[in-house]
């Protein structure tokens, strides 16, 4: 008894865990194919045709008062089913997982699903599926990789696992973002269930992980925003064009002091400074946000120009100073990064500048219209 007791307790415990995981995997109780009245072997045109026919048949505006409520429910079910089956990638997910969703791989493994590695985006021309061979030649010092990655820059790369519910939910947003930014930012994806070595090389620890990469600038940044299409597009567009002006002692006075416009200048250091490395992507986004206002954003590398940074009163990094034509040559500190979160601080400043700029445009337009009257 003393020998088998602990073993039996362990076995019962593991059985309990497996059962919990099986229950935790949510299942869709409806059959989307049945709702759209098509076979599972139906082609996309057949699915589309059936959807149009049923949508017209059950549209609430086509119903009598007695059938309108019931038809509205049916109409909603038809649209929900088509949202999945009408998208080839979402349809593959539905066919593979039967509507089940998982928060971790153990749940997926005990769900009875046969294939946990089927790739997304195989049917979308604007999202490129990547593997290890496509990164050959990339030394991340401004030298591009071979293959599809060599054809354009910059990139948004999603590292995902097919069983991951958040990855599945982001499929539509990722494809729409890729279409919206076609020719501006290229989009790619890596299936980490298939290309484990590649994902390990990128130190991927969670799904989905999205990385903005500029090979030409030897720059990368992990995206931590929302997974909706508007947030992804806004971020990628802001990161795609570097509006930060690189300054040095020879260009500073002519550009900033004598330029006649407000400047925000980040005095920064190299990779040895962790907060400085984190500040660069945020500063890049800040520069994009204030583009079109009266202000500009610049950066000074204090590793290269230590004496100049000392003259400017910079004692710690990262450090932001503001400059104007009426102010002093050394400017004024924007805020103390030891007391105010860097990203939150410049986000607030950027929003204020945009609002101020918009107010000025509105005021100008109002005066212009009044003059015409």
Rounded to an integer, the average pLDDT of 315-327 is 87
The per-residue pLDDT for 2 is: 43
Q: Which residue has the higher pLDDT, 91 or 9?
A: 91
Q: 221 is written with which tokens?
A: 């940044």
Residue 352 has pLDDT above 90, yes or no: no
Residue with tokens 């509105």: 362
Alpha helices of 86-183 — where are they, by DSSP H? 88-97, 105-109, 165-180
Residue 26 has pLDDT above 70, yes or no: no
Residue 264 and residue 270: Cα distance in Å, rounded? Answer: 19
The pTM for the full model equals 0.68
What does 177-242 look like in DSSP terms, one character per residue? Answer: HHHHTTTTSEEEEEETTT-HHHHHHTT--SSSEEEEEETTTTEEEEE-S-SSHHHHHHHHHHHHS-
The per-residue pLDDT for 108 is: 60
User: Are 86 and 47 spatial neighbours (Cβ–Cβ below 8 Å)?
Assistant: yes
Closest C-alpha among 19, 25, 24, 49 to residue 37: 49
Express each pLDDT in 112-166 by its tens digit.
565 667 788 887 889 999 998 888 766 655 567 777 888 888 999 999 998 888 8
As a whole number, the mean pLDDT across the chain is 81
Closest C-alpha among 173, 174, 170 to residue 156: 174
Rounded to an integer, the average pLDDT of 34-47 is 92
Residue 311 and residue 288: Cα distance in Å, rounded? Answer: 28
Which one-letter DSSP state was computed for residue 215? T
214 phi and psi angles, rounded to 5 deg: -115, 105
User: Are 298 and 263 spatial neighbours (Cβ–Cβ below 8 Å)?
Assistant: yes
Residue 339 and residue 335: Cα distance in Å, rounded? Answer: 8
Residue 104 has pLDDT above 80, yes or no: no
Residue 174 and residue 227: Cα distance in Å, rounded? Answer: 8
**Of 57-61, 135-139, 140-144, 278-282, which gets the smallest average pLDDT?**
140-144
The per-residue pLDDT for 10 is: 44
Q: Which residue has the higher pLDDT, 290 or 27?
A: 290
Specify the length of the chain in residues: 373
Q: Which residue has the higher pLDDT, 303 or 14?
A: 303
Closest C-alpha among 217, 215, 216, 235 to residue 225: 235
């Amino acid at each position: 008894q003393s020998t088998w007791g602990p073993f039996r307790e362990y076995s019962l415990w593991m059985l309990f865990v497996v059962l919990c995981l099986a229950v935790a995997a949510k299942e869709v109780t409806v059959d989307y194919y049945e709702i759209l009245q098509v076979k599972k072997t139906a082609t996309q045109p057949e699915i589309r045709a059936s959807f149009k026919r049923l949508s017209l048949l059950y549209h609430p505006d086509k119903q009598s008062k007695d059938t309108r409520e019931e038809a509205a429910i049916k109409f909603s079910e038809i649209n929900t089913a088509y949202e999945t089956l009408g998208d080839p990638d979402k349809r593959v997910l539905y066919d593979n997982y039967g509507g089940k969703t998982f928060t971790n791989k153990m749940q997926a493994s005990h769900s009875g699903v046969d294939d946990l590695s089927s790739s997304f985006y195989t049917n979308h021309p604007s999202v490129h599926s990547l593997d290890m061979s496509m990164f050959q030649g990339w030394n991340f010092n401004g030298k591009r990789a071979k293959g599809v990655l060599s054809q354009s820059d910059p990139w948004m790369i999603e590292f995902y696992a097919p069983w991951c519910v958040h990855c599945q939910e982001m499929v539509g947003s990722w494809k729409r973002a890729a279409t919206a930014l076609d020719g501006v930012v290229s989009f790619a994806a890596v299936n980490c269930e298939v290309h484990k070595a590649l994902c390990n090389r990128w130190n991927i620890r969670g799904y989905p992980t999205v990385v903005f990469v500029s090979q030409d600038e030897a720059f990368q940044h992990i995206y931590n925003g929302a997974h909706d299409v508007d947030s992804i597009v806004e971020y990628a567009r802001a990161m795609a064009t570097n509006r930060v002006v690189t300054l040095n002692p020879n260009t500073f006075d002519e550009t900033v002091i004598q330029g006649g416009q407000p400047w925000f200048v980040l005095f920064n250091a190299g990779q040895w400074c962790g907060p400085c490395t984190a500040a660069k992507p945020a500063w890049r986004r800040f520069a994009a946000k204030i583009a079109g206002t009266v202000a500009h954003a610049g950066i000074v590398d204090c590793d290269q120009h230590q004496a100049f940074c000392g003259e400017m009163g910079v004692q710690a990094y990262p450090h932001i100073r503001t400059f104007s034509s009426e102010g002093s040559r050394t400017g004024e500190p924007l805020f103390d990064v030891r007391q105010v979160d860097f990203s939150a601080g410049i986000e607030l400043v950027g929003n204020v500048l945009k609002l101020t700029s918009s107010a000025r445009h509105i005021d100008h337009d109002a005066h212009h219209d009044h003059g015409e009257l």
